């Protein structure tokens, strides 16, 4: 009887796990369906000339040519969209980003107008210069991707055969990191990225902090900048396995703040990948001061990914953050697997 009862509980647990897995897959598929529909709706609203400006081949070299500085970009800029098209573009962003991610991204765009006013209407600051670019045609059966990019913002997504393949590299920056006067006063689009990082370093004891802090001076910029591909940086800092429960919880919340810029159905897959590679192998490293207002930098590095945060410029009121996947930026690893499978079938 005891054996039978145990087996029944095991079967019940398996059924629950299978149900949750099927539910997660269904939600992920629905998210991709929505993204495809929103992308098609946006493109259908464009004139032939605007569509030609917005769409490039998937194999275009420009797909990997990302950056976060103000510069001329290939694609269709916001200032060339009418209200309906503008709304359709925001629906597309909303189909990919979580609420927190969408608010961060749109606030970063809004900061460009504040910079324009702060810098005496500098022509370099143009909130209408943010561009949407598609690589390939939106499809549930083919490979395609899209990017929304401008100053301090680069969102890159790759999809294949109705599945989400990659959401990296993704860069969010903010200048000013905190608006201290005038229009938008107290606006802090990347507040959690700063506050959770500082909360973690301050939660460490003296010995742990000596392990975590690799320099008393922060670098002026993230190490990886806008490299097309990245390799793991020098392993420094304190490992997740060396933290107590409270510290570990702060650490995981910090990582999730980056990963869950995307909606849950998308971000959950990356979170599973990070956990599968081993949380105990993830390190937190800090450089610079630990008090608010002091220049500082941190990175979170695991076997598969890297998060970088830097706040040193403009009297430590100018933030750069990036999330990179060592093997799968722009979908490189998964697309390679797809191509190899297809080639093998032929």
Q: Give DSSP secondary structure letters for 105-146.
A: HHHHHHHHHHHHHHTTS-TT--GGG-EEEEES---SSSEEEE
- The Cα 131–Cα 65 span in angstroms is 13
Q: Look-up: residue for tokens 């995981």?
A: 252
3-state secondary structure of 246: helix
Per-residue confidence (pLDDT) for residue 28, from 0 to 100:
75
Domain limits, the chain: 30-176, 191-332
**pLDDT reported for residue 16:** 44
- Per run of 10 residues, the mean pLDDT along the chain (length 346 residues) is 58 47 63 97 98 98 98 98 98 98 98 95 96 98 98 98 96 98 95 98 98 98 98 98 98 98 96 98 98 98 98 98 98 82 58
**Burial (CB count <10 Å: 0-12, 13-18, 19+), residue 333:** middle
For 26-59, give one letter per residue: b (16+ CB within 10 A) or e.
Answer: eebeebbebbbebbebbbebbeeebeebbbbebe
Cis-peptide into 176, omega within 30 deg:
yes
Model pLDDT, residue 3: 53
Q: What is the pTM of this model?
A: 0.92
The two three-digit tokens of residue 106, written as one number: 């749109």
């Amino acid at each position: 009887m005891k054996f039978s009862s145990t087996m029944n509980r095991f079967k019940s647990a398996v059924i629950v796990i299978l149900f949750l897995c099927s539910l997660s897959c269904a939600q992920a598929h629905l998210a991709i369906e929505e993204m495809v529909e929103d992308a098609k709706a946006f493109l259908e609203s464009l004139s032939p000339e605007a569509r030609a400006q917005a769409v490039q081949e998937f194999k275009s070299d420009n797909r990997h040519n990302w950056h976060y500085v103000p510069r001329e970009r290939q694609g269709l800029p916001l200032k060339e969209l009418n209200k309906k098209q503008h709304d359709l573009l925001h629906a597309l962003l909303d189909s990919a980003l979580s609420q927190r991610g969408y608010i961060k991204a749109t606030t970063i765009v809004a900061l460009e107008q504040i910079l324009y006013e702060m810098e005496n209407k500098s022509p370099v600051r143009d909130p209408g210069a943010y561009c949407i670019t598609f690589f390939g045609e939106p499809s549930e059966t083919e490979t395609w991707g899209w990017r929304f990019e401008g100053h301090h913002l680069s969102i890159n997504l790759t999809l294949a055969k109705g599945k989400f393949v990659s959401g990296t590299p993704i860069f969010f920056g903010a200048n000013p990191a905190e608006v201290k006067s005038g229009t938008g006063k107290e606006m802090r689009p990347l507040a959690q990225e700063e506050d959770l990082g500082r909360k973690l370093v301050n939660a460490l004891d003296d010995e742990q902090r000596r392990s975590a802090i690799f320099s008393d001076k922060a670098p002026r910029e993230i190490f990886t900048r806008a490299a097309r591909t990245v390799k793991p940086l020098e392993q420094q800092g304190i490992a997740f396995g060396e933290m107590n429960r409270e510290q570990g919880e702060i650490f995981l919340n910090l990582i999730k703040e980056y990963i869950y810029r995307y909606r849950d159905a998308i971000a959950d897959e990356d979170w599973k990948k990070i956990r599968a590679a081993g949380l105990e192998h993830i390190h937190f490293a800090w450089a610079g001061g630990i008090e608010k207002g002091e220049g500082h930098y941190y990175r979170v590095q695991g076997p598969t990914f890297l998060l970088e945060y830097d706040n040193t410029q403009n009297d430590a009121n100018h933030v750069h953050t990036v999330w990179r996947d060592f093997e799968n930026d722009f979908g490189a690893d998964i697309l390679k697997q797809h191509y190899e499978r297809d080639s093998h079938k032929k």
